[in-house]
């Protein structure tokens, strides 16, 4: 287990959107009943997390372990020795041109689409579903403020999907994120700020995942599980 928060599998304003003019929205049912996309996308306060912005990084900025977050620091220190010794790729647009793609020592997917890990102890990617006539699909970069029609359609078709959610979006649209869980979809972390993870430091990559997990758990009262 990598994180203190038991995760299935593996941006907007600098603080939680809390405005004098923003009204409270208290439930998934209340948000789901809004049919006008423009109204769905009006910022609102969700009381369970309205005062917790200080516990998370600024939205749409590279996540860092917060200065006074002893739990996050302890967890990173606990796992840091098991992280493979692979240097950050830095500016991806530049390093893609200089990386040794022929030998691919790091199994860098961005350069070679490698899916079989070369570092000891790192599991390979799951790239196909072996069961015949089986389809798996997911949706990136949510939640979006106007997702009601999307969720309604999946429900009408009796379909469940995997939703890859960005922490900064969850902070802006918590009830849209919570609805996916209540509708029975699988939720996965899609980083905090939607940057290329291989261009970050180990600590930044950890923080991108750790705080997204923590926010989703605070928003939904559920437990994402790291596998």
Place 225 in a pLDDT band, splitting at 50, 70 and 90: low
Say yes or no to pLDDT of 15 above 60: no
Of the candidates 167, 162, 214, the residue with the CA atom closest to the CA atom of residue 184: 162
Task: Give the pLDDT confidence of 18-71 residue by residue, as tens digits.
Answer: 444 568 999 999 999 999 999 999 999 999 998 888 999 999 999 999 999 999
Q: What is the mean pLDDT of the chain?
A: 88
Dihedral angle sign, alpha carbons of residues 126, 216, 184, 144:
negative
Q: What's the burial of 215, exposed, middle or buried (CB within 10 Å: 0-12/13-18/19+)?
A: buried
The encoded tokens of residue 129 equal 């579903």
pLDDT value for 154: 97
Place 185 in a pLDDT band, splitting at 50, 70 and 90: very high
Place 130 in a pLDDT band, splitting at 50, 70 and 90: confident
Task: Give the pLDDT confidence of 71-124 residue by residue, as tens digits.
Answer: 999 999 999 999 999 999 999 999 999 999 999 999 999 999 999 999 998 999
User: For residues 143 and 169, is the Cβ–Cβ distance under 8 A?
Assistant: yes
The mean pLDDT of 159-179, rounded to a whole number, is 96
pTM here is 0.86
How far is residue 45's CA from residue 222's CA, in Å, rounded to a whole number?
20
- Count how many Cα atoms sit within 13 Å of the Cα of residue 90 in the half-sphere of its side chain: 8
User: With the CA atoms of 42, 28, 181 and 147 taken in that order, what torsion angle do they form, in degrees rounded to the nearest 10?
Assistant: -40
Which has the minimum average pLDDT: 3-12, 108-117, 142-151, 215-224? 3-12
Tell me the three state secondary structure of residue 1: coil
The encoded tokens of residue 60 equal 């749409």
The mean pLDDT of 193-221, rounded to a whole number, is 95
Place 222 in a pLDDT band, splitting at 50, 70 and 90: confident
Say yes or no to pLDDT of 143 above 90: yes
Instruction: Give the DSSP H/E element, type plus range, for residue 215.
Output: helix 202-220
């Amino acid at each position: 287990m990598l994180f203190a928060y038991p995760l299935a599998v593996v941006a907007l304003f600098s603080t939680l959107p809390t405005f004098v003019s923003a009204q409270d929205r208290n439930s998934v049912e209340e948000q789901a009943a809004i049919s006008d996309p423009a109204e769905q996308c009006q910022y609102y306060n969700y009381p369970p997390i309205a005062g917790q912005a200080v516990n998370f990084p600024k939205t749409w900025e590279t996540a860092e372990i917060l200065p006074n977050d002893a739990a996050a620091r302890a967890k990173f220190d606990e796992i840091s020795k098991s992280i493979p010794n692979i240097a950050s790729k830095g500016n991806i647009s530049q390093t893609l041109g200089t990386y040794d793609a022929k030998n691919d020592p790091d199994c860098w997917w961005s350069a070679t689409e490698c899916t079989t890990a070369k570092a000891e102890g790192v599991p390979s990617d799951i790239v196909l579903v072996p069961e015949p006539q089986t389809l798996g699909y997911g949706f990136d970069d949510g939640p979006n403020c106007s997702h009601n029609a999307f969720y309604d359609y999946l429900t009408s078709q009796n379909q469940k999907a995997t939703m890859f959610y960005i922490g900064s979006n969850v902070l802006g649209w918590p009830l849209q994120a919570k609805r996916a869980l209540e509708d029975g979809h699988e939720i996965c972390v899609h980083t905090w700020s939607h940057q290329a993870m291989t261009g970050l430091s180990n600590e930044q990559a950890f923080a991108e995942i750790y705080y997204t997990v923590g926010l989703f758990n605070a928003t939904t009262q559920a437990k994402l599980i790291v596998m």
